[in-house]
């Protein structure tokens, strides 16, 4: 699965006429830690809380390489021996356990999907590198459940990771309803971009829930627990929640489906000036248009884009495998004069919805901040 080079055609890495121009311009966030700490200190601060953003040089095209993929966890990566590992399943029609070989022998499906931390790109971070897109494969959760006689009485599931959390002594866990898992087309992934899962990505198996924020994509999966009521562990109940104004009262709401979003990821030199590249995703419906502004929002111009199903001509994706994949876009910035610019992009979907310019005043919290992400760029 090679990079399809969707963006490469427009790029001219060297130009005899403009020998002193850099090949790529940094896009500086306008708020949050990324702005206040700067490009050297911010990654160090983020690393202290086990948060590693995707590198800029991996931020083009439809596929994030395994090396460079963002990371967000609680520091400790369990070392799992696949020979003795078992995937325990309880609370379903019949309790049971699968070995790694049994799991790998089940029929697999593939998903190309955005994996995005619910807090990605919020006002505290400023930057927006906690997302990636890979081709994952594994049996669907349904297939796994059916291999043991079906969900039985379970209407909700908790997914338990094997990572020990100091003090709490329990692995990471997150829960979703069976209805949400079915609608997302959740899989128990055993490969990432055609390889066995690397240890930081959850070897030997992780849950992948296309369209739902990645706090639910439990790594080092050890136990699927069927329940007859929503799982209300700490991450569901407290950690990944916003407050929303509903009927005059602020209520706590769990992060779930990824909202309609886009971002400018790179600004690279081209023959005629600069090529802006980025992604648009979320909302669960295909992207209809992406608009770019380089004058602080006074004017917006349409970008060119490639829909996900066109990404891999030699190794096409099955229908339904890319419902929650990002769309790659480019826009040619023709010879702007030297100076400072405020740039951004905005996504529209086929149902006519448009990405918000401002934070919704009825939502408070760090998660699912969909509003347009401004960047400053200094053109030499």
Interacting residues with ligand MTE (CB under 6 A): 69-74, 117, 161, 163, 172, 201, 214-215, 217-220
Tell me whether residue 367 or residue 374 sits nearer to ligand MTE (CB atom): 367
With CB cut-offs between 5 and 8 Å by kind, which of Mo ion, ligand MTE, none does residue 376 bind? none
Tell me whether residue 220 or residue 329 sits nearer to ligand MTE (CB atom): 220
**If residue 181 lies in a helix (H) or strand (E), which one and from where to where?**
helix 178-184
Tell me whether residue 125 or residue 343 sits nearer to Mo ion (CB atom): 125
Name every residue whose Cβ is closer than 8 Å to that of residue 8 and which is 6 or more positions away in sequence: none
With CB cut-offs between 5 and 8 Å by kind, which of ligand MTE, Mo ion, none does residue 281 bind? none
Among 222, 253, 136, 241, which Cα is nearest to 186's?
A: 136
Tell me whether residue 201 or residue 266 sits nearer to ligand MTE (CB atom): 201
Beta carbons of 135 and 194 less than 8 angstroms apart:
yes
With CB cut-offs between 5 and 8 Å by kind, which of ligand MTE, Mo ion, none does residue 71 bind? ligand MTE
Tell me whether residue 87 or residue 215 sits nearer to ligand MTE (CB atom): 215
Least Cβ distance, residue 163 to ligand MTE (angstroms): 5
With CB cut-offs between 5 and 8 Å by kind, which of Mo ion, ligand MTE, none does residue 161 bind? ligand MTE
Q: Please report, as ranges, the residues that interact with Mo ion according to CB under 5 A.
A: 72, 117, 215
Longest dimension (CA), the chain: 71
Distance CA 144, CA 136 (A): 16
With CB cut-offs between 5 and 8 Å by kind, which of ligand MTE, Mo ion, none does residue 73 bind? ligand MTE
Question: DSSP secondary-structure letter at 45?
Answer: H
Tell me whether residue 216 or residue 268 sits nearer to Mo ion (CB atom): 216
Distance CA 134, CA 248 (A): 41
Tell me whether residue 189 or residue 317 sits nearer to Mo ion (CB atom): 189
Tell me whether residue 215 or residue 258 sits nearer to ligand MTE (CB atom): 215
Count CB atoms within 10 A of the CB of residue 121: 23
- Which stretches within 31-106 are classed as H helix? 32-48, 100-105
| DSSP for 255-303, written as a single string | --BPPSEEEEEEEEEBSSEEEEEEEEE-TTS-EEEEEEESSTTS--EEP
Q: Give how far Cα 162 sits from Cα of 27, 81, 205, Å.
A: 38, 12, 11
With CB cut-offs between 5 and 8 Å by kind, which of ligand MTE, Mo ion, none does residue 341 bind? none
Tell me whether residue 218 or residue 325 sits nearer to ligand MTE (CB atom): 218
Least Cβ distance, residue 118 to ligand MTE (angstroms): 7
Least Cβ distance, residue 52 to ligand MTE (angstroms): 8
With CB cut-offs between 5 and 8 Å by kind, which of Mo ion, ligand MTE, none does residue 28 bind? none
Least Cβ distance, residue 218 to ligand MTE (angstroms): 4
With CB cut-offs between 5 and 8 Å by kind, which of Mo ion, ligand MTE, none does residue 70 bind? ligand MTE
Q: Dihedral through CA 179, CA 180, CA 182, CA 184, nearest 10?
A: 160
Least Cβ distance, residue 116 to Mo ion (angstroms): 8
Count CB atoms within 10 A of the CB of residue 26: 13
Least Cβ distance, residue 14 to ligand MTE (angstroms): 34
Least Cβ distance, residue 6 to ligand MTE (angstroms): 23
Residue-wise over 97-108: b if at least 16 C-beta within 10 A, else e?
ebebeebbebeb
HSE-CB for 372 with a 13 A CA cutoff: 21
Least Cβ distance, residue 294 to Mo ion (angstroms): 31
Distance CA 99, CA 279 (A): 38
CA 343 to chain centre: 22
With CB cut-offs between 5 and 8 Å by kind, which of Mo ion, ligand MTE, none does residue 172 bind? ligand MTE
Least Cβ distance, residue 342 to ligand MTE (angstroms): 29
Among 327, 332, 263, which Cα is nearest to 303's?
A: 332
């Amino acid at each position: 699965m090679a990079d399809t080079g969707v963006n490469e055609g427009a790029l001219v890495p060297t130009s005899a006429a403009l020998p002193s121009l850099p090949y790529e311009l940094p896009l500086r966030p306008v708020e949050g830690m990324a702005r206040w700490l700067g490009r050297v200190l911010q990654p160090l601060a983020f690393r202290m809380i086990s948060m590693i953003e995707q590198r800029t040089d991996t931020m083009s095209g439809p596929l994030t390489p395994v090396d460079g993929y963002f990371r967000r966890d609680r520091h400790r990566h369990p070392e799992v021996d696949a020979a003795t590992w078992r995937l325990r399943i309880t609370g379903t029609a019949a309790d049971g356990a699968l070995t790694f070989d049994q799991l790998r022998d089940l029929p697999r499906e593939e998903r190309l999907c955005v994996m995005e931390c619910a807090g990605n790109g919020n006002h505290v971070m400023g930057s927006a590198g906690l997302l990636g897109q890979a081709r994952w494969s594994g049996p669907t959760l349904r297939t796994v459940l059916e291999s043991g006689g079906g969900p039985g009485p379970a209407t909700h599931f908790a997914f338990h990771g094997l990572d020990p959390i100091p003090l709490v002594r329990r692995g990471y866990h997150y829960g979703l309803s069976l209805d949400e898992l079915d609608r997302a087309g959740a899989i128990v992934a055993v490969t990432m971009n055609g390889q066995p899962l690397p240890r930081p990505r959850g070897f030997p198996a992780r849950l992948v829930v296309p369209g739902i924020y990645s706090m639910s994509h439990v790594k080092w999966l050890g136990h699927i627990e069927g329940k007859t009521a929503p799982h209300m562990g700490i991450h569901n109940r407290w950690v990944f929640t916003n407050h929303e104004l509903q009927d005059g009262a602020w209520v706590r709401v769990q992060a779930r489906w990824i909202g309609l979003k886009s971002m400018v990821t790179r600004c690279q030199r081209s023959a005629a000036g600069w090529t802006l590249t980025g992604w648009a995703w979320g909302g669960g419906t295909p992207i209809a248009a992406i608009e770019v502004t380089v004058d602080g929002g006074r004017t917006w111009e349409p970008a060119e884009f490639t829909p996900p199903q066109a990404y891999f001509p030699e190794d096409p994706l099955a229908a339904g495998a890319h419902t929650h994949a990002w769309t790659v876009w480019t826009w040619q910035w023709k010879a702007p004069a030297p100076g400072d610019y405020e740039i951004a992009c905005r996504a529209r979907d086929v149902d006519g919805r448009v990405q918000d310019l401002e934070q919704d005043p009825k939502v408070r919290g760090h998660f699912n901040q969909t509003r347009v992400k401004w960047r400053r760029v200094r053109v030499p």
